[in-house]
Amino acid sequence: MEATARTLEGRVALVTGSSRGIGAAIARAFAAEGAAVAVHGRDGAAVEGVRSGIESSGGRAIGTVADATDFAQVESLRAEVESQLGPVDLLVANAGGSPIPPGPVEEIAPEAWQQSVDVNLTATFLAVKSFLPGMKERGRGVILTMSSAAARRTTAMSPVAYTAAKAGIAQLTKSVALQAGPAGIRCVCLAPETILTERNQQQIPEDVQEALRQNHPIQRLGTPEDVARAAVFFASDAAGWISGITVDIAGGSVLV
């Protein structure tokens, strides 16, 4: 019986912000499908944990440490990945987060607003800016960006700066898809709802988790693996004519 071909065999992938959570799940899933993966983060020990786990499972991975909001460091990161693995075919611009709590717009400090924009929208822009030229030269590549259901279905409790930055990522994705499509590059935006990462499991009380579950037509919260499986599909040739869209990975809770 012939072994099933792995969908990302021979590809080189970088997943920013992949030392934990959704990014780590994507890195592991890509490696399981045959990609050589660069694991990235700012915590060297966490990066190494994901990298070694991939290799112990039979995959190929390197670990990289860089500040995704610093273009010089992103450029150095690209050079490191290209030196060790080769040109990047699959870029997952996943690095981001919500560094400030929800609150009224007028109470957001300008520096807090800037921090939210930088770690989400700017980090995505810098990754695309660094890796897109090489993809255009080679005439191939897939870029996956990471928005959020919070930017698709804003509520009174949504962190304003975070949702604005994530909405910007969705629009950036459309622009990249439009500009880079003629060169053979696809760009797709993933927008997860509440995902039960280790951090969320610790920080969200069980009663709040249950209330959130009840708001989903598919009545469970998402897992990092739910997002990773979607990322594998959109990175693969099976999605070869899909570009420029935002995909809600949200258990049916975002109906627009």
| 91: helix, strand or coil | strand
> Which residue from 29, 7, 3 is spatially nearest to 18, judged by alpha carbons?
29
Residues in the chain: 256
Torsional sign, CA 196, 198, 200, 201: positive
> Which residue from 63, 62, 56 is spatially nearest to 32, judged by alpha carbons?
56
- Cα 216 versus chain centre, distance: 22
Give yes or no: 162 in active site.
yes
Torsional sign, CA 52, 41, 225, 220: positive
CA angle at residue 165 from 160 to 171, to 5 degrees? 130
CB burial class (10 A; 0-12, 13-18, 19+) of residue 102?
middle
CA–CA distance, 253 with 256 (Å, rounded to integer):
10
DSSP 16: T
> Which residue from 237, 256, 62, 207 is spatially nearest to 142, judged by alpha carbons?
237
CA–CA distance, 117 with 11 (Å, rounded to integer):
31
Active site residue: 30, 125, 131, 162, which one?
A: 162
Residues involved in catalysis: 162
